Amino acid sequence: MGRRTDPDRATVKLVRERDGWACVRCGNPATLTTQHRVARGMGGTRAAWINQPANLLTLCGSGTTGCHGWVESHPKDATALGYACSRYVDPVDHPVRTWQGRVWLTNDGQAIPV
């Protein structure tokens, strides 16, 4: 069994609550997955910040379908909209365009309107 590099259940629940139990890109409440804005990298990472709420988004679909698939296949557009971040950017300092408007994400689970 490999090492776990995904967020714990409590963090995922906090992110889902912050995101209104819906995809932040389109508002769809079905088939929800968690997107890391700064990617974990091949094999994952043990860095604690990677699974902080500001680095996580709720998206619909998988890595190849729905909005999650769109983010994975359109990295430049996804970065411009805040769904993805460069490894050199702190996600807290990079707002996200949601279906409800632009927000700043905090590590205590808040979404603050820009």
- Dump pLDDT digits (tens) for 38-82: 987 655 556 778 999 999 999 999 989 999 999 999 999 999 999
Q: How many residues does this entry show for the chain? A: 114
pTM: 0.90
Environment class of 104 (CB within 10 Å of its CB; exposed 0-12, middle 13-18, buried 19+): middle
| 45-51 contacts, C-beta under 8 A, 24 or more apart | 45/5, 46/3, 46/5, 50/5, 51/6, 51/7, 51/8, 51/11
Tell me the average pLDDT of the chain.
91
- The SS3 of residue 18 is helix
At 1, the pLDDT band (50, 70, 90 cuts) reads very low
Q: What mean pLDDT comes out for the span 8-27?
A: 97
Return the higher-pLDDT residue of 1 and 110: 110
Instruction: Show me where the domains of the chain are located.
Output: 9-113
CA distance 59 to 12: 12
Q: What is the pLDDT of residue 64?
A: 94
